[in-house]
Amino acid sequence: MGRKEDVVKLAEKLMSNKPNIRNIGIVAHIDHGKTTLSDNLVAASGIINPELAGKVQFMDYYELEQERGITINAANISLVHNYQGNDYLINLIDTPGHVDFGGEVIRAMRAVDGAVIVVDAVEGTMPQTETVIRQALREWVKPVLFINKIDRLVNELQLTPQQMQEKFVKVVSQVNNLIKKNAPEQFKEEWLVKVQDASVCFGSAKGNWGLSALTIKETGIGFKEVYELCKKENGQKELAKKSPVHKAMLEMVIKHLPNPVVAQKYRTHVIWKGELESEEGKAMLSCNEKEPFIMMVTDVGVDPHAGDVATGRIYAGTAKKGLNVRLIGSQKNVQVSQVAVMMGAERVTVSEIPAGNIAGLIGLKDVWAGETISSKEEMHRFESFMSAVEPVMTVSVEAKNPKDLPKLIEVIRKITKEDPNVRATINQETGEHLLSGMGELHLEITQYRIEVDNKLAIKVGNPIVVFHESVSQESPEVEGKSPNKHNKFKITVEPLSKGMIEKLVEAKIDARIRLKDKEILQKLEEIGFTKDQAKNIWAIHNNCVLLNTTKGIQYLNETKELVIQSFEDATDQGPLAQEKCSGLLVSLNDATLHEDAVHRGPAQVLPAVTRAILACILLAGPILREPKQILTITVPQDFMGNALNELAQRRTHIQEMRQEGDLSIIIGKAPVNELIGFSATMRGATQGRAVWTAEYSGYENMPLELQIQTVKEIRKRKGLPEALRKAEDFMD
């Protein structure tokens, strides 16, 4: 029997011993050493040779990850470790650091209760470190800190022991500031990381050594010894023997991160808004392994032989082969054909997995990441993943050989299931498949998965950036008349405030709203609408709001669905360039309707309301909003001028510049549209020495002087007439 199977056998025995279970995620900025650290924990469990820890990148099993040296997929593994004579089951998820794959991190945070934040001692906390800390705390996941690459401070930066200590104090205080700002109110103090209580570890994942306040007491190996040994030729090997990193890490995880019973008591009400006193609420709060079975899917893989593999956290009940469950979102009943423990690239089948663990379920057709699975026919769904990130770049994809079209459709369906951050649509006019992603790298990886993983030759168009249309002021009231002139609708449009838009994006509401949707009405009040407004909001679409301000209009209830449909049509294709609208408050102020239903059907109402909304937008100072990204560029000082010059040409607003040793770190905000082709030119300008990441930063108004040209270009690309339509064109 292989070593993995031995570990799984041990894991099975521990799955019901909840006080000894830890569900943890390893999170960090790109290249700060997450996967190397995971290697050490995998090696300590006996699955790989300790000599290979830090070199084999066990959790980066996808060939493109090995080739590029970055993590693309979050990878799960269950490990067993002995601490002070007791066996502990550590369910670990290694997450990506590159911002294009941030969706993987957000989904992983739903499955875990604790997060190990890894920070490079040389670079300190970077924008993506801040992002992953925020993502963890938003899901009420408790953090601990591992400061990595200490050897670089000694050997590369030649710091003195005193300067090293100052560096550590700075990193710890930066992380604690982020925890204070983002932690739940009741944990703001309790969750701060402290060197004294060993919730902070130091070390070198690559050198396989680490220490904390606890290990220093046990081994006598402190910073003085670290400094001296790092200077010696084989000193790090000696350190790894005397103070192995896995020991310090596991002590920190076991001592400071919560077990599932403790965590589910305070996490359940955040991730699930159902009735806590209900049967399912009580089962989740107590992490009960009896009925009902409740699981949230955080990741989906498609196995060519077994079908869909859903990985996720079991919050109540026990997963068994043959268990009949309900996919609550899809409203489908399915049967679990196999239950498995995920071991990096492989999965090992087991007989059952109880609540409080991370499991793989096989055979659930049409499952998706974010789905709620339950043995109950009806139950409240889990909250959607807490993220405001959305795809900002699109490419068209077509099969080189027309006979491969059915295969292409199947492959795209599979990829969007495995990676919910890839969106696929079909351009109705050209029949092309349009794939939208988080940036150039994300789309490059997706293209690789189609061409190489699925052996399918495709043609890919140039990247296109997704813009939004909005308004800058309130419009006058516009009266929309139906073609038969028997129905009239008086409408105004105004911009929502910046704060309201941010909260709307975060709340992820896209729905037709009824008075019985109490939960949505409550969210609307939290967003900033009055109680009266919330009750009269008919629909939210593309972060635009349709508000009914009319009183006692006859037949309006019968026409309501058509008005909502018109609102959705108008906000799907704005009047400037047929891009989606966002941040609009559309108010229906008055209406006159024909008494005979035949004269107020779709053919009459849809054009009247849609055209009136489009006219209002054109009268309210229409603006184009462009997606922005925060760029963090690390470059040797000699090439800093070239890098800044490159950024200046791309409308980048520089927010911060600092020196770290002989490296310069530049942080700036740039429009995504200007970043097409950025990789190649930046590499050229800095002779390949610059390393950077880009983080989604939302939409902002485009400068008016650039708007006219951009609108022209989009209209030309879409085959629309060059001349913009005027408000009068939409008014009869």
Q: DSSP secondary structure string, 526-574?
A: HHT--HHHHHTEEEEETTEEEEE---S-TTHHHHHHHHHHHHHHHHHS-
Flag whether pLDDT at 476 surpasses 90: yes
Flag whether pLDDT at 107 surpasses 60: yes
Of 48-57, 82-91, 431-440, 547-556, the range with the highest mean pLDDT is 547-556
Flag whether pLDDT at 76 surpasses 70: no
Contacts of residue 288, defined as CB under 8 A and 6 or more positions apart, other chains included, come to 282, 316, 317, 355
Beta-carbon count within 10 A of 703 CB: 13
- The answer on 473 and 461 residing in a single domain is no
Whole-number Å distance between alpha carbons of 626 and 727: 23
Flag whether pLDDT at 51 surpasses 60: no
Among 575, 379, 383, 608, smallest CA distance to 487 is for 608
Q: DSSP secondary structure string, 486-509?
A: --EEEEEEEEPPHHHHHHHHHHT-
Q: Judging by beta carbons within 10 Å of its beta carbon (0-12, 13-18, 19+), is residue 197 exposed, middle or buried?
A: middle
> What's 487's domain CATH number?
3.30.230.10
Comparison of pLDDT for 100 and 219, the residue scoring more: 219
Percentage, residues of the chain above pLDDT 90: 28
Confidence class for position 41, pLDDT limits 50, 70, 90: low
Take residue 639 and report the two structure tokens written for it. Answer: 């090439």
CB 107 within 8 A of CB 139: no
Mean pLDDT (whole number) for 175-182: 92
pLDDT at 256: 94
Comparison of pLDDT for 426 and 537, the residue scoring more: 537
Flag whether pLDDT at 49 surpasses 50: no
- The answer on 435 and 312 residing in a single domain is no
pLDDT at 518: 81
Flag whether pLDDT at 90 surpasses 50: yes
Q: What is the pLDDT of residues 231-258, one digit of tens each?
A: 777 777 888 788 888 888 888 999 999 9
One-letter amino acid for residue 511 of the chain:
A
pLDDT at 101: 40
Q: Judging by beta carbons within 10 Å of its beta carbon (0-12, 13-18, 19+), is residue 604 exposed, middle or buried?
A: buried
pLDDT at 194: 93
- The answer on 243 and 351 residing in a single domain is no
Q: What is the pLDDT of residues 653-693, one digit of tens each?
A: 999 888 876 778 888 999 988 888 887 888 888 887 787 77
pLDDT at 58: 36
What ranges make up the beta strands (E) of 400-506? 423-426, 433-437, 458-460, 464-465, 468-471, 478-481, 488-495
Q: What is the pLDDT of residues 492-529, one digit of tens each?
A: 999 999 889 988 887 888 888 888 888 888 889 889 99
Q: What is the pLDDT of residues 427-466, one digit of tens each?
A: 665 667 888 887 777 787 788 778 877 788 888 888 888 8
pLDDT at 259: 94
Take residue 19 and report the two structure tokens written for it. Answer: 């006080």
- Which residue range is the domain that position 557 belongs to? 469-620
- The answer on 535 and 460 residing in a single domain is no
Name the domain boundary from 570, 586, 620. Answer: 620
- The answer on 438 and 417 residing in a single domain is yes
Characterize the bridge pairing of strands 458-460 and 488-495: unpaired
Whole-number Å distance between alpha carbons of 90 and 58: 16
Flag whether pLDDT at 94 surpasses 50: yes
- The answer on 355 and 338 residing in a single domain is yes
Whole-number Å distance between alpha carbons of 120 and 303: 36
- Kindly state whether residue 379 falls inside one of the protein's structural domains: no
Mean pLDDT of the chain: 82
Mean pLDDT (whole number) for 75-94: 77
Of 26-40, 116-130, 200-214, 578-592, the range with the highest mean pLDDT is 578-592
Structure-derived torsion over alpha carbons of residues 308, 309, 310, 314, reported in degrees to the nearest 10:
140
- Kindly state whether residue 724 falls inside one of the protein's structural domains: no
- Kindly state whether residue 218 falls inside one of the protein's structural domains: yes
pLDDT at 8: 64
Structure-derived torsion over alpha carbons of residues 361, 362, 368, 370, reported in degrees to the nearest 10:
0
- The answer on 591 and 537 residing in a single domain is yes
pLDDT at 610: 94
